[in-house]
Amino acid sequence: MSVDDSGASQPSSSPAPRDELRKVTDARTMRALAHPVRIALLEELVLGGALTATELGERIGESPTTCSFHLRQLAKYGFVEEAGGGKGRARPWRLTTIGMSLPSTHEDPATEIAASVLSRLVWERQIDRYRTWVENKAAYPRAWRDAADESEYLFYLTPAELKELNQEITDLLLPKYRSRLTDPAQRPAGSAPVELLLFSFPIRLAETEGQPDSGGEAPSGSAASSGGAEHEPDSGGQASAHGPQ
């Protein structure tokens, strides 16, 4: 993606998002992402490929004006770009990469807080989708109900072993089907988007290590609590303060 002097994104000549994960490490970018409409737009672009602001608005229950504003903000931070063709709200947008990743730890408190706010927004949406599946899975075909899984495993690991295990799982999963994200022709008949969530964390530390503090959340009303995302002016296209229904 390129950006002109006015801040507008220019159409990319590449045919599809780059086959890589964007590493997000700075607090400013995290705060810009921490908005439910922007996360919803990214999720829909993963599923639908290149889409216009109008098409995205229909999918997430927001106006084209709202979607256009947030798409421009996402383009400003390099997460989306114009796919070429169309004008105004009929311009299709697409992701610049197939996804993003956040480091687990950060050196400065501001980045740690911004990462926590963004992570919470993302995983709350993930858990909501899982809850929707649980509540509605009886309506799915038997083959999908048999194939879906709900598992929990308990291991005794050192930090180094946990890090190694997570990397091994990532190395196994990502190469296996990642090409299907950007090339619909590789998706077999009968395939559907499937979300696999992986949480790995210690539930209790050894007494010699001590227990973590229960605090650490941003104070209510702080810039970090609100996500710090830029909002469009009050011109009838104001973004909603809640996620899409």
Instruction: State pLDDT tens for residues 179-230.
Output: 888 888 999 999 999 999 999 999 998 777 666 655 444 443 333 333 344 4
Read off the pTM.
0.75
Q: How far apart are CA 198 and CA 152, in angstroms?
A: 10
Minimum mean pLDDT among 13-17, 73-77, 147-151, 160-164: which range? Answer: 13-17
Quickly count helices (H) and strands (E) in the chain: 8, 7
Q: How far apart are CA 32 and CA 214, in angstroms?
A: 27
pLDDT of 162 higher than 60: yes
- pLDDT category at 9 given cuts 50, 70, 90 is very low
Q: How far apart are CA 135 and CA 154, in angstroms?
A: 26
Q: Who wins on pLDDT, 3 or 139?
A: 139
Question: Which domains can be identified in the chain, with CATH numbers?
Answer: 2-101 (1.10.10.10)
Please state, rounded to an integer, the average pLDDT across all residues of the chain.
82
Phi and psi at residue 2, to the nearest 5°: -120, 155
Q: How far apart are CA 239 and CA 79, in angstroms?
A: 19
Task: Say what the pLDDT of residue 245 is.
Answer: 33
pLDDT of 71 higher than 50: yes
Q: How far apart are CA 181 and CA 193, in angstroms?
A: 9
Find the mean pLDDT for residues 20-31.
91
Q: How far apart are CA 214 and CA 121, in angstroms?
A: 19
If you ran DSSP here, which 8-state letter would residue 188 be given? Answer: P
Instruction: State pLDDT tens for residues 98-118.
Output: 888 888 888 899 999 999 999
> With contact defined as beta carbons under 8 Å apart, do 81 and 51 qualify?
no
pLDDT of 236 higher than 60: no
Q: Who wins on pLDDT, 241 or 138?
A: 138
Coil, strand or helix at 21: strand
Q: How far apart are CA 182 and CA 48, in angstroms?
A: 10
pLDDT of 232 higher than 60: no
Which H or E element spans position 99? Answer: strand 97-101
Q: How far apart are CA 214 and CA 204, in angstroms?
A: 13
* Percent of the chain with pLDDT strictly greater than 70: 77
Find the mean pLDDT for residues 30-38.
96
Minimum mean pLDDT among 18-27, 73-82, 152-161: which range? Answer: 18-27
Q: How far apart are CA 116 and CA 215, in angstroms?
A: 12
pLDDT of 174 higher than 80: yes
* Percent of the chain with pLDDT strictly greater than 90: 60
114-129 per-residue burial string, b: 16 or more CB within 10 A, e: under 16: bbbbbeebbeebeeee
Count, residues in the chain: 245
If you ran DSSP here, which 8-state letter would residue 186 be given? Answer: G
pLDDT of 83 higher than 80: yes
